Structure 1
């Protein structure tokens, strides 16, 4: 379980004394973490499931624009990630878990979070070429093969995530020998940090270039320009806010392993667990930033699920420039 350190993990048969002491000492904190995860699950699942319902039954995403297929896969990855949150919320409050359940949960968590980040990145790349380099037909033709790209991403992430089934961050009920830096552990950490930091730099680069391009081609519609710039900037901010603190804390956790006192390790673990909760916020914000930011999709969503707000919505002429 990613949310508890090895000091908080019991043997398969009995609850370790140190584990129980740590849980008792931090009971209030971990109940708070558990509550946050439950709230994120409820809000995120309701929002994502309604969005994906529109993609399937109203927009028929497989017949729509290329970006709609990527958006569908992004929302699907977020839903699959959210499904495991009730188990994680329960584990935040407990000191025991089944080894198989732990590893399956980690596998699903890693692959779905990786997929969410991957599709978020590919959407930014698609928008970058659509806005900044619309004349590069070869690249755009490749990006338009969205079904094939989507399948490739899921298969690749499934292969790269297999190490999570063998050794996890908390070594699901494992022995001391699993703490060594084996090839599997090193591969797992490389995949973990690569899928966060590389997409972040890609997002930053694409966003800067898109904003500069929008400023150059915008003539009179300043409101539309600022909305598009706000959307692009918000994507980078949300990604940085949700994932970078989580990744940096993980790096600190790896660096201090075996080098500091037990109390200091527990402090880092508690911080890591809190930032882990923060990272799930991405599942709630993705559909807002990528789907509801579109005027067309927003109107359809409100008419379906929030019709009482429809009369308050002012008609808009077209989608945001960044969504084209």
Structure 2
């Protein structure tokens, strides 16, 4: 009986538009090929050049962000293989659940650290000099470890129950289904609201120009704007598609409209993996030192003058007057 059920689930998870899913797989492979060396190079700078654990900035948050992106990237070849085989998910139930666990965990971590980075910049610009818990903890790894630990329980619903296509509602909606969907939506919508608030406040401060120099304020606006762009391109479309898919599935299960909604959702989920390519923009907007360091190490022909030296004991980059980035 179990084998029959598993066969039915596998059949129901077949990709009806195989050519389109092959295109999805090709996009994921391209993202993997481009994003893996990019994020690996960023990780190398954080560890061996900046020594993020000794830095007096928010490099700890950014290190965890790139770590989450790299872990997420390792899921893409498996998903691409499933799509090429004509299935929306792995035929192996263990692999299916492990994949969903990794996607939930690292996607949530990526969103969390993007949000924390923006909140940190918000306090620096809108409330400079005011003591806050985030400013006290950002120089230590405790808050980053806490974020990872808080994300782990949120992935438990993905492991409790064998459900159709490993991410769909069954005929009978259960508590696990509700928990899984609540996690999916809240980890995107709540941070998005926070980001909108931070962006509006920072932009207002830039217009008033009452605190800080204009360059610093503009850089903060660029940062929160880049994070908003990442959310708008990568996360919001798949969230809306997920909402429509659930509405269609509950009202017209088995209808062709549901199949089309599932195909659209899978495609927008593939688009969400683009954040692994867009997140490095956040690093550049967070720190001009990081941008200069990255270019001087990997693209020295774009830097005029001598490469930027790094003090290995502190991870700090001096401010030479002669070096200019093209």
Give TM class, smaller chain: 0.7 to 0.9
Equivalent pair of 1:66/1:146 in contact (CA under 8 Å): no
Which digits, 9 at most, give the CA deviation of each residue in 1:54-108, with x for residues without a partner? 0000000000024110111111111111111100111112235211011001101
Offset, 1:230: 3.3
Q: How does 1:118-129 map to 2 (within 5 A)?
A: 118-129=112-123
d(CA) in 2 for partners of 1:15, 1:139: 48
Higher relative contact order (CA 8 A, sep 6+): 1
Match of 2:145 in 1: 151
- Post-superposition offset of 1:43: 1.1
Give the 3-state SS of the residue equivalent to 2:117 in structure 1: helix
> Aligned match of 1:164 in 144, 153, 158?
158
Match of 2:239 in 1: 247
Residue of 88, 93, 98 corresponding to 1:99: 93
The aligned residue for residue 298 of structure 1 is 291
- In the other structure, the counterpart of 1:204 is 196
Any unmatched runs of 5+ in structure 2? 309-317, 321-326
| Distance (Å, rounded) in 1 between the aligned partners of 2:213 and 2:120 | 23
The question of 1:216 aligning with 2:208 is answered yes
CA distance in 2, matches of 1:255, 1:142: 44
Contact (CA 8 Å) 2:53, 2:140: kept in 1 or not? no
CA contact (8 A) 2:241 2:261 kept: yes
Which shows bigger deviation, 183-192 or 103-112? 183-192
Equivalents in 1 of 2:141, 2:5: separation in Å? 44
Gaps of 5+ in 1: 1-9, 319-324
CA 124–231 in structure 1, closer or farther in 2 if over 3 Å, else same: closer
Normalised TM-score (structure 2): 0.83
| CA apart distance, 1:35 | 0.6
Contact 2:295 2:303 (C-alpha < 8 Å) held by counterparts: yes
- 1:269 aligns with 262
In the alignment, what sits opposite 2:54? 63
Matched residues in 2 for 1:169 and 1:205: separation?
Answer: 37
Query: Which residue number in structure 2 is paired with residue 5 of structure 1?
Result: none
SS at match of 1:36: helix
CA shift for structure 1 position 12: 4.8
Number of equivalent positions? 304
In the other structure, the counterpart of 1:31 is: 22
The answer (yes or no) to whether the contact 1:99–1:173 under 8 Å persists in 2 is no
Kept in 1: contact 2:125–2:220 (CA 8 A): no
In 1, distance between residues paired with 2:175 and 2:72? 26
User: Is the contact between residue 214 and residue 225 of structure 1 (CA under 8 Å) also seen in structure 2?
Assistant: yes
Q: Alpha carbons of 1:16 and 1:242: their partners in 2 closer, same or farther (altered >3 Å)?
A: closer
SS in 1 for 2:82: helix
- Cα distance change of structure 1 residues 104 and 200 upon mapping to structure 2, 3 Å threshold: same
Give the secondary structure class of the aligned counterpart of 1:136: coil
Contact 2:75 2:99 in 1 (8 A): yes
